[in-house]
């Protein structure tokens, strides 16, 4: 994957660079951000609603302006991006692990278990991600008392997104496993008498992983978007520990008074992040799909 | 044919049973009806009495049966939040959502098809390249960001269009419509454009790829060899064949569009079902959530089944294999 990047078109290289930079900056938020927006003592209401530095009335201390509580928007965005990326990445990780495990079992064991897993997947896939995620998050908030608190919210979001996304992995891995299971090396290890679990995870798994990585790249953008949408709708991260979606939700209340920067800059950051990941993801998918090779997608 | 139809129908009924079971579980265990319906200072005996009156002491399966029977009669319970029947609430909100989805679909089709054709016929033109690049940006821009930007530009900045509500409505046979008043039309513009943009990209990409496939097919090559006029080939032959899957996908998308309307309705405070649902989520109003789940579940199952049946009717190959 990395080696092939040398032959990639310029747009993909730029997108990849952008995506890596955003992720690195976001993950290193405490080192990079000018202030700590989570530290209540670091900001002051006197600085509230200042426009970006280059606009009249702006303050050079707040490059992208400040929000309604006097927090620096740039710092809030960097910290928010960190939350978004960690939740998006977490959701991809959980969905991929669950999907790969279930897909392996379905493909290798077959029979009723296979039918059961795949039917559940069919039902889940007939609903859009956002709807299912809203339902899961909504029910979780009704059942668990502290579900909207900053400690539990990320895990609920990850679970809500992964509920839908695992099916794609399971379907792909199941199909690949069925092909692998017929090959000679699997027959050979069966003859040796290795336990099923070791055949599945030790021998088949490494050979079905490459499509999983492709799906994971594409899914990362989708997961970040779903998280942002849930947070925007008010069932995601709380304002005390905002993700990019939460920041946009907060900013949305000020749009009508002409204070555009509180909503617009986090939105811009979100779009750039997702766009960059999408460009890379599309390219990776086309490269790994022999059917599409040579054809412009 | 009949066999395929029955198996498809059985599957649909099974899915609906699963969905009702989820709704029932939410209703019965998440909402805790006793706590909600009894007074704050109710004694244990009063609560037990209420539980008996509601039938909560009976076996779970019997309760589930009762729940299904009530749902089939159209009784979806009473909203915790505003103490009104959920069925009525949904019925009140349905017209707003349907009008929004309808307007968005019309908009997406009338823009997406010509743009897709353009990209297929003149792939190297400046316009086609710009459209292609913009469509990638479109896919990466969440609906709520589009909505906020539109509000900023057209409502706050230019002051041209209203940014919330559906304007004045007129009752036509009990259906409150915004399509007959000037303010209704003006209010519809921004939400429907926002919702349409999400679908527009999809339709455009689909038309483009289907059109490219059709243009490289044998019948188009023979039509060229016969010397038929280019316009006839492009629009009468290629486009017609390219539109079949577009119609299917648009039909399938109506369900997701209703689901995605949740976001658009939240941004524009559009009084539809999506807004009702999201308010229910934030107030933990379980009956409304469960009813919405049932409604959307039914909608999706119905649409999926309809598409399968139409396919079986239209495509002779599927008809043959099903026999």
In chain B, residues with a C-beta closer than 8 Å to the C-beta of A160 are none
State the pLDDT at residue B30. Answer: 66
Number of domains in chain A: 1
In angstroms, the separation between the Cα of residue B209 and the nearest Cα of chain A is 9
Distance separating alpha carbons of residues B227 and B65, to the nearest angstrom: 67
State the pLDDT at residue A98. Answer: 93
CB pairs under 8 A between A and B: 111
Q: What angle do CA B242, B246, B249 make, to 5 degrees?
A: 150
In angstroms, the separation between the Cα of residue A247 and the nearest Cα of chain B is 12
Looking at the domain assignment, is residue A49 inside a domain?
A: no
What are the structure tokens assigned to A145, written together?
């008392």
- Confidence band, pLDDT 50/70/90 cuts, at residue A97: very high
Looking at the domain assignment, is residue A18 inside a domain?
A: no
What are the structure tokens assigned to A157, written together?
């979001």
**Residues of A (155-214) whose Cβ lies below 8 Å from B:** none
Inter-chain touch A135–B293, beta carbons under 8 Å: yes
Inter-chain touch A225–B163, beta carbons under 8 Å: no
Tell me the per-residue pLDDT of A239-272, one tens digit each, with 9 for 90 and over: 878 888 888 888 888 877 777 777 888 888 898 8
Residue B59's φ and ψ, nearest 5 degrees, are -55, 150
State the pLDDT at residue A91. Answer: 93
Inter-chain touch A131–B141, beta carbons under 8 Å: no
Looking at the domain assignment, is residue A272 inside a domain?
A: yes
Nearest Cα to Cα of residue B80 among B249, B268, B280, B229: B280
Tell me the per-residue pLDDT of B259-305, one tens digit each, with 9 for 90 and over: 788 888 888 888 888 888 888 877 777 778 888 888 888 888 888 78
Residue predicted with more confidence, B32 or B296: B296
Inter-chain touch A233–B277, beta carbons under 8 Å: no
- Selecting from B142, B255, B267 the residue whose C-beta is nearest the C-beta of A228 gives B142
Residues for chain A: how many in total? 297
Tokens 């692998």 appear where?
A: A180
As a whole number, mean pLDDT of residues B96-110 equals 87
Burial class (CB in 10 A: 0-12, 13-18, 19+), B85: middle
Inter-chain touch B262–A248, beta carbons under 8 Å: no
Q: What is the rounded average pLDDT for all residues in chain B?
A: 77
**Residue spans of beta strands (DSSP E) within chain A:** none
Tell me the per-residue pLDDT of B203-259, one tens digit each, with 9 for 90 and over: 888 888 888 877 777 777 887 788 778 777 777 777 777 777 787 777 777 777 887
- Selecting from B148, B262, B280 the residue whose C-beta is nearest the C-beta of A252 gives B148
Inter-chain touch B18–A252, beta carbons under 8 Å: no
As a whole number, mean pLDDT of residues A114-131 equals 83
Asked if A168 contacts A91 with a C-beta cutoff of 8 angstroms, the reply is no
Looking at the domain assignment, is residue A100 inside a domain?
A: yes
Looking at the domain assignment, is residue A254 inside a domain?
A: yes
- Selecting from A131, A235, A258 the residue whose C-beta is nearest the C-beta of B156 gives A258
State the pLDDT at residue A47. Answer: 67
Return the residue of A nearest to B12 by Cα. A123
Inter-chain touch A229–B144, beta carbons under 8 Å: yes
State the pLDDT at residue A199. Answer: 84
Domains and CATH numbers, chain B: 2-72 (no CATH), 93-322 (1.10.3720.10)
Q: What is the rounded average pLDDT for all residues in chain A?
A: 81
State the pLDDT at residue A58. Answer: 66
Distance separating alpha carbons of residues B11 and A123, to the nearest angstrom: 10
In chain B, residues with a C-beta closer than 8 Å to the C-beta of A135 are 289, 293
Asked if A188 contacts A203 with a C-beta cutoff of 8 angstroms, the reply is no
Looking at the domain assignment, is residue A36 inside a domain?
A: no
State the pLDDT at residue A62. Answer: 67
Nearest Cα to Cα of residue B169 among B103, B101, B92: B92
**Residues of A (120-159) whose Cβ lies below 8 Å from B:** 123, 126-128, 130-131, 134-135, 137-139, 141-143
A198: domain CATH number? 1.10.3720.10
In angstroms, the separation between the Cα of residue B172 and the nearest Cα of chain A is 31
- ipTM greater than cut 0.85: no
Inter-chain touch A137–B281, beta carbons under 8 Å: yes
Residue predicted with more confidence, B285 or A3: B285
Query: Is residue B322 predicted with pLDDT exceeding 50?
Result: no
In chain A, residues with a C-beta closer than 8 Å to the C-beta of B31 are 142
Nearest Cα to Cα of residue A207 among A232, A228, A226, A181: A181
Tell me the per-residue pLDDT of A180-236, one tens digit each, with 9 for 90 and over: 888 888 888 888 888 888 888 888 888 888 888 888 888 888 899 899 988 888 888
Distance separating alpha carbons of residues A23 and A272, to the nearest angstrom: 12
Distance separating alpha carbons of residues B256 and B262, to the nearest angstrom: 10
Tell me the per-residue pLDDT of A39-54, one tens digit each, with 9 for 90 and over: 766 676 666 666 776 7
CA-based R_g, chain B, Å: 25
Query: Is residue A293 predicted with pLDDT exceeding 50?
Result: no
Is A10 in CB contact (< 8 Å) with chain B?
no
What are the structure tokens assigned to B55, written together?
């039938």
Residue predicted with more confidence, B139 or B173: B139
- Confidence band, pLDDT 50/70/90 cuts, at residue A126: confident
As a whole number, mean pLDDT of residues B194-200 equals 84
Three-state secondary structure readout of A31-48: HHCCCCCCCHHHCCHHHC
In angstroms, the separation between the Cα of residue A121 and the nearest Cα of chain B is 12
Interface test with B, best of A84, A124, A139 (most B CBs within 10 A): A139
Residue A223: give the domain boundaries: 85-293
Q: Which residues contact B251 (CB under 8 A, 6 or more apart)?
A: B303, B306, B307
Tell me the per-residue pLDDT of A154-196, one tens digit each, with 9 for 90 and over: 888 898 899 888 998 999 888 888 888 888 888 888 888 888 8
State the pLDDT at residue A69. Answer: 74
As a whole number, mean pLDDT of residues A62-79 equals 77
Looking at the domain assignment, is residue A133 inside a domain?
A: yes
State the pLDDT at residue A292. Answer: 47
As a whole number, mean pLDDT of residues B93-120 equals 86
Distance separating alpha carbons of residues B213 and B208, to the nearest angstrom: 9
Query: Is residue A88 predicted with pLDDT exceeding 80?
Result: yes
Looking at the domain assignment, is residue A263 inside a domain?
A: yes
């Amino acid at each position: 994957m990395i080696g092939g990047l040398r032959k990639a078109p310029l747009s993909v290289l730029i997108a990849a660079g952008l995506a890596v930079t955003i992720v690195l900056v976001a993950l290193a938020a405490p080192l990079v951000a000018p202030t700590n927006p989570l530290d209540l003592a670091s900001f002051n209401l006197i600085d509230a609603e200042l426009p970006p530095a280059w606009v009249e009335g702006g303050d050079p201390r707040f490059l992208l302006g400040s929000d309604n509580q006097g927090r620096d928007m740039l710092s809030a965005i960097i910290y928010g991006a960190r939350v978004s990326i960690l939740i998006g990445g977490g959701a991809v990780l959980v969905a991929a692990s669950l999907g790969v495990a279930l897909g392996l079992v379905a493909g290798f064991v077959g029979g009723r278990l296979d039918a059961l897993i795949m039917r559940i997947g069919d039902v889940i896939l007939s609903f859009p991600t956002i709807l299912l995620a809203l339902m899961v998050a909504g029910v979780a908030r009704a059942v668990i008392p502290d579900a909207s608190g900053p400690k539990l919210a990320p895990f609920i979001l990850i679970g809500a997104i992964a509920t839908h996304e695992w099916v794609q992995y399971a379907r792909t891995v199941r199909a690949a496993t069925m092909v692998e299971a017929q090959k000679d090396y699997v027959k050979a290890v069966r003859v040796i008498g290795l336990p099923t679990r070791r055949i599945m995870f030790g021998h088949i798994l490494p050979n079905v992983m490459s499509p999983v990585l492709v799906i994971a790249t594409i899914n990362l953008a989708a997961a970040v978007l779903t998280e942002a949408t849930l947070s925007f709708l008010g069932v995601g991260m709380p304002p005390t520990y905002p993700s990019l979606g939460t920041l946009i939700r907060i900013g949305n209340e000020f749009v009508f008074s002409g204070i555009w920067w509180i909503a617009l800059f986090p939105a811009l950051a979100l779009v750039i992040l997702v766009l960059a990941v999408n460009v890379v993801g599309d390219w990776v998918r086309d490269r790994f799909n022999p059917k599409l090779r040579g054809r412009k997608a | 044919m009949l066999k395929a139809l029955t198996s498809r129908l059985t599957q649909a009924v099974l899915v609906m049973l699963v969905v009702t079971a989820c709704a029932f579980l939410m209703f019965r265990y998440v909402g805790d009806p006793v706590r909600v319906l009894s007074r704050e200072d109710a004694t244990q005996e009063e609560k037990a009495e209420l539980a008996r009156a509601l039938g909560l002491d009976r076996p779970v399966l019997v309760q589930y049966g009762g729940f299904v029977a009530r749902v089939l009669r159209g009784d979806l319970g009473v909203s915790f939040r505003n103490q009104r029947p959920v069925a009525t609430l949904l019925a009140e909100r349905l017209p707003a959502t349907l009008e929004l989805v309808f307007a968005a679909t019309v908009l997406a089709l009338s823009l997406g098809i010509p743009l897709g054709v353009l990209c297929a016929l003149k792939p190297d033109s400046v316009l086609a390249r710009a459209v292609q690049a913009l469509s990638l940006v479109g896919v990466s821009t969440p609906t709520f960001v589009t909505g906020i930007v539109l509000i900023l530009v057209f409502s706050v900045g230019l002051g041209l269009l209203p940014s919330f509500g559906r304007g004045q409505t007129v009752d036509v046979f009990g259906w409150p419509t915004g399509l007959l008043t000037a303010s209704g039309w003006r209010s519809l513009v921004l939400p429907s454009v926002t919702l349409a943009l999400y679908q527009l990209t999809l339709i455009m990409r689909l038309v483009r790829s289907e059109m490219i496939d059709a243009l490289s097919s044998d019948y188009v090559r023979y039509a060229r060899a016969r010397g038929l006029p280019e316009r006839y080939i492009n629009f009468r032959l290629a486009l017609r064949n390219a539109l079949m899957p577009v119609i299917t996908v648009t039909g399938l998308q109506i369900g997701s569009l209703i689901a995605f309307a949740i976001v658009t309705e939240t941004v524009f405070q559009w009084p539809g079902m999506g807004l009702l649902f999201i308010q229910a989520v934030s107030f933990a109003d379980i009956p409304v959530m469960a009813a919405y789940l049932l409604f959307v579940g039914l909608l999706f199952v119905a649409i999926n089944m309809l598409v399968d049946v139409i396919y079986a009717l239209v495509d002779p190959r599927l008809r043959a294999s099903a026999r």
